[in-house]
Amino acid sequence: MTSTTASARSRPRRTLAPYAFLAPFLIPFVLFTLVPVGYAFWQSLHKTARTGGTFGKTRTVFAWLEQYGRVLGEGYLADSLLRVLGFALVQIPVMLLLALVLALLLDSAVARAKRFFRLVYFVPYGIPGVVAALMWAFLYDPRLSPVVDLLRSAGIHADLLGPDVILWSIANVVTWTYTGYNMLIIYAALQAVPADIGEAARMDGASGWTIALRVKIPIIRPALVLTGVFSIIGSFQLFTEPQVLRSISTSVTSTYTPNIAAYSLASGDSYSEAAALSVVLAVVTFVLSSAFLRFTTRSQG
């Protein structure tokens, strides 16, 4: 009798157990990830109105899509989105190609001192984005920069902080920081490629490069897609690097990237417009990364 009651009692306890294990994560997840997304959307449908003139109390009133009209009507949104799009189209292929080549070399028999190189390439990822940007800011700063000095002694007068160049100066910081991280993702995937597949190709007379292009890269495709998606998201969220360079360069305006624009709006107390901008940015990012995913997975089949 005791045994039946015990099992009857343990059955519901067991079905409740997974919920009990999930709850401590799900509660903060809902509060600090899902609710903010919903809150931003709700806020974006409002506007601040004042009662009784300039010095009256402020209150938020429902405004339908007025903030979206305002955000989409201003030129800065298109400008900043096009800027990060151009950034992504150049910086992501350069960075991922570099990461892929380094990973293939580390995985091949050609390279030497692999352990050393792997460690060195991973160093920048250990440096916070802000500190990396600070370092490069000093290296770009004409008052201090040894790089500008070297270029000048070579007869090149480069203004690395000028309006034409600064986007690529930022791209350099991002490439420097994240190449090693992406290389490690790709390298980890390469390590999981079964050795006998490469051997079979080699037996058929394929060269090292042919094996890399025709055998290894198709197998590690999921890892490449993953790095691509994360890089696209990162590019559209670009904030830290330009924000740090802003303090030494006037070329980075208050609406340079969509996130800097949202930050500027929020510091000017235009919360609803900032929220609308965040929502637009999230939608654009989502659409583009989904399109990338669809494109890369369809052309596989």
Partner 1 sequence: MSLLTRTEGAHHPAAPNRRRRGAGIAPTVAVTFMAAVACYMLLPVYWLFVSSTKSQGDLVATPGFVTAEWNLGDNLSSLFAQQDGIYLRWLLNSLLYAGAGAAVATLLAAAAGYALAKYAFRGREAVFSVVLGGVLVPATALALPLFLMFAELDATNTFWAVFLPSVVSPFGVYLSRVFAAASVPDEVMEAARLDGAGEFRIFRTMALRLMAPALVTVFLFQFVVIWNNFLLPLIMLQDERLYPVTLGLFTWQTQTSRLPELQTLTIVGALVSVVPIVLTFLLLQRHWRAGLAAGAVKS
> Is residue 157 a contact point for partner 1 (CB under 8 A)?
no
Q: Report d(CA 155, CA 264) in Å as an integer.
A: 39
Cβ closer to partner 1: 19 or 55?
19
Q: Give Cβ neighbours of residue 87 (< 8 Å, ≥ 6 apart).
A: 167, 170, 171, 235, 238
State which of residues 69, 93, 222, 268 lies at the interface with partner 1 (CB under 8 A): 222
Say how many C-beta atoms besides its own lie within 10 A of residue 177's C-beta.
21
By the 8 A CB rule, do 80 and 255 touch?
yes
138 binds partner 1 (CB under 8 A): yes
> Is residue 225 a contact residue for partner 1 (CB under 8 A)?
yes
Residue 259 found at the interface with partner 1 (CB under 8 A): yes
Q: In this complex, which beta carbon is closest to partner 1, that of residue 171 or of residue 274?
A: 274
CA distance 49 to 272: 11
Distance of closest approach, residue 73 Cβ to partner 1, in angstroms: 21
Do the bridges between strand 46-50 and strand 58-62 make them parallel or antiparallel, or are there none, so unpaired?
antiparallel
CA dihedral 139, 143, 144, 150 (to 10 degrees): 70
Beta-carbon contacts of residue 214 (< 8 Å; ≥ 6 apart): 201, 206
Task: Please choose, out of 30-38, 74-82, 85-93, 161-169, the segment that lies near partner 1 by the rule CB under 8 A.
Answer: 30-38
CA 241 centroid distance within chain? 12
Q: Which of 111, 213, 287, 291 binds partner 1 (CB under 8 A)?
A: 111
Instruction: Tell me which residues in 228-247 interact with partner 1 (CB under 8 A).
Output: 229, 233-234, 237, 239-240, 243-244, 247
28 binds partner 1 (CB under 8 A): yes
Give the binding range for partner 1 (CB under 8 A) out of 63-71, 89-97, 156-164, 262-270. Answer: 262-270
- Contact status: 63 vs partner 1 (CB under 8 A): no
Question: What is the closest distance, in whole angstroms, from the C-beta atom of residue 155 to partner 1 in the complex?
Answer: 18
Look up tokens 């007869």; give the residue: 155
60 pairs with which residues across the strands?
Answer: 48
134 near partner 1, rule: CB under 8 A: yes
Our measurement of the distance from residue 37's CA atom to the centroid of its chain's CA atoms, rounded to an integer in Å, reads 18
Residues 78-107 that bind partner 1 (CB under 8 A): 98, 101-102, 105, 107
In this complex, which beta carbon is closest to partner 1, that of residue 90 or of residue 185? Answer: 185
The yes or no reply on residue 121 touching partner 1 (CB under 8 A) is: yes
Tell me the C-alpha distance between 117 and 111, whole Å. 10
Candidate residues 49, 89, 120, 287; the one interacting with partner 1 per rule CB under 8 A: 120
135 binds partner 1 (CB under 8 A): yes
**Is residue 271 close enough to count as binding partner 1 by CB under 8 A?**
yes
The two three-digit tokens of residue 22, written as one number:
């999930």
Cβ distance to partner 1 smaller for residue 52 or 115: 115
Stretch that binds partner 1, among 69-77, 85-93, 154-162, 281-289 (CB under 8 A): 281-289
Q: Can you state the angle between helices 166-191 and 75-107, rounded to 10 degrees? A: 40
